[in-house]
Chains A and B, each alone.
Chain A
């Protein structure tokens, strides 16, 4: 295991021609239901990819398979050049998983726990990647320096989440998994978290795969967005590319004679011209809204079915996203 580990460590920068994640025909079946069907995608070194979808779409299942925490039913999966189902500890050292802590290690102090988890990565340091991350530097990076001596059970939800991120990062992973990272965070904590992820991607070239059902979050953080619905990837591209997919569904709003009107059209410019020719001065409060990521999302997710009983959570998620998108 020792010599294998060293071999892996020296060849850790280029995997499969630059693909950190390489998934082909991934299938997951529980009993007779397929939770994932023919999921295929790749991610390059340094890319931030968001897996977007309603609850029950298979986001968590996908990420757990890639983390090596769950066995798949079929398909080929390569993470950092290795099949996570048969990966060793040296592979584990290059992968960061941000877990949603609940009440584990409650009696430990913040700095003590982070320093402890750092020691596990010492044998996996290389000439290019110094492991672990310096504890105090990392505490500062996630904004927990002032709480270093506090017991973990006294932290607030947002503080705990930042500690979770710090533990996921302490081994300086080449690839980081974030499953619903901002669920339950207040707007300010969410903002700080977004800044942290952006910094990681920019300064450390960490490849990041995150799942979310928040469109605004995906748009803000990710270089690329994949929409997962009903166990399939139904769209894959940048936020702009996805928004353009439903081009032709611009929304025109105006008032005329004290009444509000809304019209959806493929050719908003011509429509507006016609509108003025017909009503002239009577038109007020004109507003043309280009098709957005949200429109694509709603169309795709609606067309492909929501993939199971998402229920209230799903509706709330979509609602949040709508509010976030339109208020910008």
Chain B
């Protein structure tokens, strides 16, 4: 490379855009890796296949006397739940990569942390969208009664999903920063399972007692499920929802609040976590992890 080219390369590359570009390519590379190796591929396919199997057996069952089919109700709800699971993925990935030293490496590189976080958002969000497609496309062939023909359906899907990820991924990053080890991560599953159980994913929330309905409406999972149902169910299905309404405004508001809180807190928590990383910290966690295995 001659001097002129070097100058041009430098002029084009300021540190911030370099870090973001590196983050983008990091995200794309890791996304590609997760679809080109056996173990990851199984984990991408296992859950959708299980869900589709369950939906297949539910497809002819009616929900109460509403005339709606249970499978039709459940497919969009499961999509919403899976979208919310990006939170758990983000949290697990952050803890694991803090433990194995990936984060420390990012910290030792100029612009590394910014690029690392950018890359993770791309990997997790990209993986999530792919997983949703893996579930939705065969699901639409399997399940009758979905109203997915209009552009409006897909527009609703797009904004609910985008806002949902904004609401859940920063929270996942915060949780991932707070847990000291990958083992502690197991604890996060319990409240998430509880949230799923009461969020009207597998059964309409209106059949739950009022106080549980109130709690459910504080979680992003409920609103993601509702948003997805509003995108894919026929208009008359709205009767099984609270207040007989898809409540788009409320959906945007609740998810928006989660997003605002998460985006405000996540940088602070992430920075605090990153500040504490050092070689001896990673070595210590390695020792502990190896003891667990051995």
Contact = CB atoms under 8 A, between A and B. Distances in A.
A93 B112 CA distance: 10
A70 B109 contact: no
B18 A64 contact: no
B110 A64 contact: no
A2 B18 CA distance: 12
A93 B102 contact: no
Nearest to B290: A102
Contacts of B3: 127
Interface stretch (B9-17, B50-58, B87-95, B189-197): B9-17
A108 B105 contact: no
Interface string A92-111: 11000101111111011000
B100 A100 contact: no
A93 B110 CA distance: 5
Contacts of A102: 100-101, 282, 286
B109 A117 contact: yes
B25 A119 contact: yes
B218 interface: no
14 contacts: A60-B280, A67-B278, A67-B279, A99-B108, A100-B101, A101-B101, A103-B100, A107-B33, A116-B22, A116-B25, A116-B26, A117-B105, A119-B18, A120-B111
Contacts of A297: none
Interface of A: 1-2, 5, 60-61, 64, 67, 69-70, 89-90, 92-93, 97, 99-105, 107-108, 112, 116-117, 119-125, 127, 130, 167-168, 171, 179
A100 B283 contact: yes
Given A104-B97, A104-B102, A64 B286 contact: no
Contact of A99 (B14, B21, B25, B105): B105
Which 4 interchain pairs have the tightest Cβ spacing?
A69-B278, A93-B110, A104-B102, A89-B110
A69 B277 contact: yes
Given A102-B101, A117-B109, A123 B279 contact: no
A92 B101 contact: no
B104 interface: yes
Contact of B105 (A60, A70, A104, A125): A104
Interface in B265-294: 277-280, 282-283, 286
A69 B279 contact: yes
Interface string B14-36: 11001101100110011001000
Contacts of A89: 15, 110-111
Contacts of B151: none
Q: Looking at chain B's contact residues, is the secondary structure mostly helix, strand, loop, or mixed?
A: helix
B46 interface: no
B18 A123 contact: yes
Interface string B72-111: 0000000000000000000000000100111011011111
A100 to B, nearest CB: 7
A317 to B, nearest CB: 16
A70 B112 CA distance: 17
B118 interface: no
B65 interface: no
A140 to B, nearest CB: 18
B115 interface: yes
B281 to A, nearest CB: 9
Nearest to B107: A69
B141 interface: no
A120 B115 contact: yes
A125 B277 CA distance: 27
A8 to B, nearest CB: 11
A179 B279 contact: yes
Which of A100, A105, A123 neighbours the largest number of chain B CB atoms within 10 Å of its CB?
A123
A2 B279 contact: no
A100 B105 contact: no
A124 B279 contact: no
Contacts of B33: 107-108
A168 B112 CA distance: 13
B29 A108 contact: yes
B279 A122 contact: no
